[in-house]
């Protein structure tokens, strides 16, 4: 199917499917959902973290979004550099707030991670964000931004591709099913990404999704932006961290009480996390075994999200069910307002 036709062809499907799948989970948490994206919507592209070293990626993502039927506007941060940052903290925060407050912009796509989102969290107007709910998506360092927004406002945000990411057919369809259709569905790895799937602790669990990059999530513990972990499904991914560092961060989360509150863990891609000196280290698998083999909640490894080409788009704050034995994530409510 051509990408431009995806929105058109799925609109009729959404109407029929919603009649069969209109379940909405209700709990005491105040949740805000943005409106689903439709053809012709204006997408703001911004860089709230690291500088965009290869400007060709800006033109590339504009082409991808326009091929899907969207219009785009590119923020000035995408062309700025301040050390390793895409402009000053003030500039990046003001641009992001401007995109939330601009009524003509229906969705916000972050250009890349790197480092820098935590530096602007104190500068954002969360009351204004809650009053202007819209799609915002990214991953890696964007983890702190999307979890902070959800924690402070109740707005469902999205852990999915950045502008720098690979937008293959699987990832693109996942974005559109989550942000345009928005219907409850079951997420399963594509057939070319099954080799890392492993159950560490059996069972099913339900809860609202929170998480993202392990380094970033661990750094949020103890801050005012730390998620409320109670009854959550925690999803984690990482890249280029040796097993001892992964172990250190998992212990930090464990000793801060996170693992006493959550209902389950979903482990995504932990790419390039092998030890430099294997003879002097535990393997990554050994670390996961030590932390999760005896867990009192379900845990599985190898889900398609993180620094990997075929990516799920996961709604932070979206009520879902994980199945650690069948390696699935089932969303139990609409991911956007449709």
Is-catalytic flag, 88? no
Answer whether residue 327 is part of any domain: yes
Helix (H, G, I), strand (E, B) or coil at 5: helix
Clarify whether residues 173 and 230 are in a common domain.
no
Do 98 and 225 lie in one domain? The reply is: no
* Model confidence pLDDT, tens digit, residues 19-43: 333 344 456 789 999 999 999 999 9
Give the per-residue pLDDT at 29.
Answer: 84
At residue 15, does pLDDT exceed 60? no
Catalytic residue among 51, 95, 241, 307: 307
- pLDDT at position 143 is 98
Catalytic residue from among 94, 237, 242, 333? 237
Residue 9 lies in a domain: no
- Whether residue 7 is contained in a domain is answered as no
For residue range 39-96, what is the model confidence (pLDDT) as tens digits?
Answer: 999 999 999 999 999 999 999 999 999 999 999 999 999 999 999 999 999 999 999 9
The answer to whether residue 13 sits within a structural domain is: no
The CATH code of the domain that includes 135 is: 3.40.50.10740
Domain span at residue 259 reads 186-331
Long-range contacts of 13-22 (CB under 8 A, 24+ apart): 13/181, 14/181, 14/182, 14/183, 14/338, 17/181, 17/183, 18/183, 18/334, 18/338, 21/183, 21/184, 21/185
Pair 174, 199 in one domain? no
- Are residues 169 and 204 located together in one domain of the fold? no
CATH number of domain containing 258: 3.50.30.60
**Catalytic-role residue among 51, 94, 95, 140:** 140
- Position of tokens 């075994």? 289
Nearest 5°: phi and psi at 104?
Answer: -80, -20
140 catalytic, yes or no?
yes
Rounded Cα gap, residues 180 and 38, in angstroms: 6
Specify whether 135 is located in the same domain as 38: yes
Active site annotation includes 283: no
Q: How many domains does the chain have?
A: 2
User: Residues 189-196: what's their mean pLDDT?
Assistant: 97
Q: What is the rounded CA–CA span in Å between residue 233 and residue 229?
A: 8
Indicate the pTM of the whole model. 0.93
Same domain for 166 and 230, yes or no, is no
Q: Which of 135, 152, 181 is the last residue of a domain?
A: 181
Q: What is the pLDDT of residues 131-159, one digit of tens each?
A: 999 999 999 999 999 999 999 999 999 99
- Please identify, among 161, 181, 201, the residue that sits at the C-terminal boundary of a domain: 181
Question: Length of the chain in residues, anyone?
Answer: 338
Question: Which tens digit of pLDDT belongs to each residue from 301-332?
Answer: 999 999 999 999 999 999 999 999 999 999 99
Q: Are residues 250 and 317 in the same domain?
A: yes
| Mean pLDDT value across the chain | 93
Query: What's the CA gap between 67 and 69, in Å, rounded?
Result: 5
């Amino acid at each position: 199917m051509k990408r431009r036709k995806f929105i058109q062809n799925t609109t009729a499907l959404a109407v029929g499917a919603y009649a069969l799948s209109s379940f909405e989970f209700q709990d005491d948490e105040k949740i805000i959902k943005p409106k689903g994206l439709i053809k012709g919507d204006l997408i703001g592209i911004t860089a709230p973290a690291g500088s965009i070293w290869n400007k060709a990626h800006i033109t590339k993502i504009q082409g991808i979004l326009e091929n899907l039927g969207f219009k785009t506007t590119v923020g000035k941060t995408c062309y700025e550099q301040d050390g390793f940052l895409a402009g000053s903290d003030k500039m990046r925060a003001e641009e992001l707030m401007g995109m939330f407050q601009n009524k003509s912009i229906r969705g916000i796509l972050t250009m890349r991670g790197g480092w820098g989102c935590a530096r602007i969290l104190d500068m954002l107007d969360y009351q204004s964000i809650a009053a202007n709910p819209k799609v915002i998506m990214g991953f890696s360092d964007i983890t702190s931004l999307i979890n902070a927004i959800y924690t402070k406002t109740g707005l469902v945000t999205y852990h999915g591709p950045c502008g720098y990411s690979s937008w293959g057919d699987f990832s693109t369809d996942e974005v559109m099913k989550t942000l345009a259709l928005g219907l409850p569905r079951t997420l399963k790895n594509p057939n070319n990404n099954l080799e890392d799937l492993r159950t560490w602790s059996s069972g099913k669990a339900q809860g609202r999704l929170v998480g993202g990059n392990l380094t970033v999530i661990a750094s949020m513990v103890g801050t005012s932006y730390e998620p409320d972990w109670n009854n959550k499904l925690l999803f984690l991914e990482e890249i280029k961290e040796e097993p001892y560092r992964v172990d250190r961060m998992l212990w930090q989360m464990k000793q801060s009480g996170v693992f006493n509150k959550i209902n389950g863990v979903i482990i995504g891609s932990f790419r390039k996390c092998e030890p430099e000196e294997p003879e002097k280290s535990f393997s990554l698998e050994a670390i996961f075994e030590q932390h999760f083999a005896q867990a009192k909640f379900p845990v599985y490894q190898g889900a398609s999200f993180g620094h990997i080409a075929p990516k799920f788009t996961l709604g932070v704050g979206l009520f879902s069910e994980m199945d650690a034995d069948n390696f699935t994530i089932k969303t139990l409510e609409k991911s956007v307002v449709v």
